[in-house]
Structure 1
Amino acid sequence: MNTLNDDENSFPKGQPSSEEPQSQNTEDLKAENSQKMEDKRAERAEKDSKSDGLLLAIHGAKVKFNAHLGEFKVLNDVPTTQDKLTGTIVEKLPANFTFYDGFQMISLTAWQDFGTAKVQDNYVLLKKSTLPGIGKMPGNIPPETGKIEFVTSGQVNQPESVDAKGAPVPEQKDEKKCFCDRDFTEDDIKAIIKKLRETEKIKTISLFYDENCTLPESDKTYKRLCEELNRMMKKHNINTCIRKIHFLAQSYHESSRYGTTLEYSSGKKYNPGNHSDAKGMEHTFEGDGPRYKGRGIIQLTWRKTQKKYFSYVLEKEPELLNNKKIDELFDRKPLYKEKYIYYKDKVDDKGNKVLNTKGKPIKEKVVEIVDVDSASLIASNLHFAFDSAGWYWEKLGKTVPTGENINLVADKDDVLRVSQCINGKVKNPYGLKERKEFTKNLKLFFKYDELCISKKK
C-alpha cells in the first residue's frame, strides 16, 4: 500500500505536483537559465579580454600612467600593422610617450608581458604589455612611480598580422593636387617652413628652438607638428587651401616662425591697472598678466579667454584634463614654471654702465622664473598649443575683434581683416607687412592660383 501510494503520488522528474505551483517551478527554471547565461557571458568576456590583450600595440595607441592619459609613439622605422608602425620592446624612451596633461616620463625600465613574435629581431608589444617607470608633472611636483599601460592597441576593427615586407612605401605625390580636404605630409611641412624661412634668410629649419619655449623635446619634431596641425585643421574646418594659407601665415608669425609657444614679453602690461581690458578679462590680481599672457601657436591671451578654451576642452574631452573643474585649473597656484628672458644694460659694482670698445653699453641676459597654473599647458603641450588656435580661429565666433568666424574672413582672402581678428581691431596690426608677405609666399608654394579647386574663378 505504501509503495502503491508512493507511486500514485510520484510524478515524472521535472513536472510539478499539485502541491508545487507551476509558476514557482517556472521561476526556478528562469533563475537557473539566467545564471547559466551569466556564467557564459563571464566566460566569453574573459575570453574576449584575453584575446583583446593579445592585439599588437601600434603607433597612436592610447596609454595611461596612473591617472595620466596619453599616446604611444613608435620612433623606429619598422614594418606596419594597419598602416601604422608596429610597437616593439625597443620603444621605451620618454619620447615614446606624450601625455595630454603635460606629464613627462623621467626613467623607464623594460617592457613586461610582450609577445613572442619578432619584428626586425625585436619582440612585439601587445595591448597587455606594461612598462614600469617614474614620471612627474612639470614644476615643483613630487615624482610618481607606476607603469605605462595600453588603454587601446591603436588598431581599428580587427587585429592584423605583422606585415613582414617592411615599412610602407610612401605614396607618389600628385603635384597637380591642391591642399583642399587633404592632410599635409611631413615633407610638405618641412618644405613650407624652409620656404618661409628662406625669405628672411633664416638658415635653420629646427622647430620651437627658442629658449623660452616650454614644449618637451618629444613635441619639437616635424612628425608631431604634422600630426597636431592636420588633426586641428580637420576638427576646426580649416579645410581649403585659402583657409590653410591664412592660418599658416598667421600662426607662423605669432609663434615667431614656429620658434616658441610662449609670448616673449613679461606679460606685466596685462596686469590690473596697466591695461584697460585687464578687469574685463579677469585680470584682477597682481601677477595675472604674466600668468595669462600669450600662449600657443597663435598666442591665446587673457585669463578669461584661456578659461573659455579649457571649458570647451572639458565639455568635449574632459579626460585630457583629468576631468578637473575649470576653477581647479585656474586657481593661480604655482604648478608650472615658465622662463621670462630679457636683456638689460650691464652695470659695475658702482652702478655704472659697462661699455664695450665702441663705447656702447654691454647687454646681459636675465632669466626670471614665473609660476603658472594649468594655463601653462597651452604653451607646454603641442596638442593644446594647436587645438587652442583652431578653437579660437573657428569657435570663438563673434567674440573676435571683427565679430566673425575667422574661417569666413579667410575665405575672403583679406590679410588685414584676418590679422585684426588675431592681433586686435587696430588700423595696422603688429607685423602686418610680414603677415602679408607670408601669405603671398604660401600662395606661391601652394600654387594656389593654378591648382586650388575651391578658388573662385
Structure 2
Amino acid sequence: MSKQGVYKISGNTQPKIGETVTYTIDEWYPATPKEKRNPALVTWQLFKKVGGKFIPTNIKKKGVSSFTFQNNAYQNTYRIEAYLHKPEGKAPMALEVQPQPGDVPRINGIQLKYANNTPGNVFNFTEKLIAEAQCTGLEGKYLKFTLWEDDSKNSGHNARNLQVDSKPGKVINGVAKSEFTLTSALMKKAIQGETDVKQLEFYVTVEYYENKKHASENVNINTPKEIYPPAKPQPKPGLPTSQPKAPGSPAAQKGQSQKEKNGLIETTTEAIAGIASVVGKKIHDWAEAKGTVKKDQKPAPPPPSEKSPTVVQNAPEQQLHKEGKCFCNRKITGEELKEMVIAMRKATFDEAGENFYKWNNDNLFTGGHEQFTIKTYEKFAEVLNKTFENYEINTCIRKIHFLGQCYHETGSFIKSVEGKKTQKYWYDPYRGRGFIHLTLKGNYQKFKDNSGYDVVNTPTLVSTNIEIAAMSSGWYWKYNDIGNINPFADKDSIFDTSRLVNKPNATSPSSINGYNQRVNAINALKIVFKYPYTCISLGKKEVTNEETPCPSDLKNCICFDKFTVENGFIKHSRVVKNQVNTIENGLFKDPITSIQKIILHRTAGGTTEACINAFKNGRKNKKGGIDHYGTHFIVGKDGIITQTANLSKITWHCAGWNSKSVGIEVVGFAIDKNGKPTLGLKGQNPVSGWENLTEVQAKSVACLVKALLNYYNLDKSKIDCHEHLAPKEAGEGQIVYNAIKDYL
C-alpha cells in the first residue's frame, strides 16, 4: 500500500527565543486521499536531541503548528515533525531546528484593557482593569504591576498614599497580565475624606527587577498594600530617593518612571559593612500607562474566550527505556501485557478457591452482554499506552496500581460492563463501564465534556469501544471529583488507590469491594515489573522549577521544602506554633486522606493576636453556651504564619466541610461602603468589602497553600473560599484567592 500523510513541511529552522513560529505543510504523499489532506488532522510533535538521538518530548498537538521556544531552549537541538499516523523520523516531513538566543530581556510596552479584553483608558469605578505587558526574553519571570493615583494636583500628598494596589504577573507566551478592581481606588479616596469622587487619574507601572541576591531578606518600605493610610511616618535616615538601574539594562536608558518621580521606590535590605541597610532594588526595565476612572463611565461588556499557540520551554524529554531495566516512560508490548494478565489471574481466586487463570487462561474480554469488537493484546496494549501518556501514568508504580485496579474492576479483564443484561440498577443506563467502571450520569457527562464523545446519549460506547474505555479510565484516574490518584500510587498506597476507585469515603479495607483481590493483583504485577529493584524513578528528587518559584523569594521555604510534622504541628522556621486547644474538636478519620480542600477565610480583625483571642474566647450560641470556632492557621499582615491547631484534629471553620478540610484565616478588616472597618453587627454599617492583603502577607499565604497542597496530595482546584461553601459575606475568601493566585 502506498504511503499516505504529510510528505514535506517548511518553516524557520533558527527561531529566536520568545518568538512564535508557525510551520506549514508543503506537500502530501500522492496517495493521500483528499479528505485526509486536512491540517486539522495532522499531529505536530517535538523531539529533542539527547546523546546523538532525537527523543520525543511531551509536546504533541493535533492541528496546532505554532511553536514558541523559551528560556534555555537555544542550548538544545530539536526536530519538528508532522504526520497523520506515526512519525518517520527523517526529512522532508521533519525539520531540524536550532533555536537562537533572544534579545536583551525587556518590557516592550504596557496596555490597559477592559474586562472584555479590548483596549481602553477610561473606566468606571465598578470595573475590573486588566494591565497587559508585552515582553521579550522574560518568559516565566514575574513582573510587578502597581496601580497608583496620579496626584500631580496635590504635590503635598504623601507618596505612600498614592499607591492603590500592587500585584505580580507571570510572563506567559511573551505577555504578563494583572487585574485590578477599581473599587479599591474609590475606597482609598473615601478613607482620605473624599466622599464624592467623580474622577480619578491613575497610572499602572510594570517593572522587572534584577535577580535578588538577598531574596530572603526582602522588605517593602514604601509600598504597603493596606487600604488604610498608615500613621504619619517618622523620618528614616538614609532611605533611597531614586530607583537604582541595573547596568546596561533597558531601564538605564529610559530614565525615571512617573512612579519613581512620585517617590514610590522599591527597596530591599542588604548587609553593608555588617549592618542591615535599606537600599533600592535594581530595576532592569519598566513601562507605564495612564488612565482615568469616571463615576459616570459606562462599564464594558463581558470578555470573549481565547486560544493560544503551543509554547516550547526547554522541553523535558521522555526517558528512553533501557533493555532489562523498567517500565517507566516507555510502552508496554502486547506480549508483556499478556504476561501481566496471566500473573494477576494466577494470583487471584474466585469464591470456590480456584484462580482465575484456570477458567480464563489468557483470553481477553470474553464475558458481559456488551463487548469490544477488537480484543487482541496488541490493541489492548496500544490503548493502554495512549492512556498512560495522556494521563501521566508514566512510572512503574503508577502503571502497577492503575492496571491492578482495572483488573479487578473488569472481573480480571473479562467484562467491560457491570452486571448482567437482566439485572436492573437505579442508575441505569449509566451503569459501570470501561476499565475503571465509569458510573452515574454525572461522570458520564463530565467525561463527555472532556473528551467530546457523546457517552451520555450512547453510554455503551464506553463498553464497546476499547479506545473510549481506556480513555475514560485514564480520565477518571486523574480528574475524578476527589482528586488525582497518581500521587497515592506514588506512595504505593493500595488502600488509597482502591478506595478512590471503589469507595472514596471508605475508612477501612473491609468496606472496599474486592480489596484482597486488588492487593493480590498489584503485588503480582510488582513481581512482573521487578519493582522496586529495577525502577529508575525511585530515589529521584523533584527539583523546584523556575516556573514555580517560592512566592516569598526564600531559599528555604515550606512551599518546596519537605517539612516534618511532629504531634500534629509543622516544624519549620516559617511556622510559629500557638496552640489554641479550645478550637480542636475531635480527630480526622485519616489525618491525610480526609482532607479534600484548603479553605480561605478573612478574620474581620486587624491583628493575629486579636484573631487568636477571638478563637480562645469563642462566641455565644442560642442556648447561652460558648462555641469555639477557628482554623488551623492564621497569616498576619506581617506575613508570619501561625499554626493554632493540631493537623490531626478537626476545627469548626466551615459548616459541612470541617471534617474534610483545613482552614486558613488571613488577617484583615471587613469594611463598609466608606472603606471603614465594620463587623456588620447591629448598630454598625453592613460589610461591603474587605481590606486588601499586604504584599508580604499574600506571598506567605501562597507559600502556605502550596505547602499544604503538596502535603495532602491535592491540586490547585482544591483551594476554595469560605463563602463558596457556606453562608458568609461575599468576597471574604475570594479577595484572598485573587491576591495569591498569580503566585501559585
Q: TM-score w.r.t. structure 1 length?
A: 0.46
Q: More helix by proportion, 1 or 2?
A: 1
Q: More strand by proportion, 1 or 2?
A: 2
| Greater relative CO, 1 or 2 (CA 8 Å, sep 6+) | 1
Q: TM-score w.r.t. structure 2 length?
A: 0.29
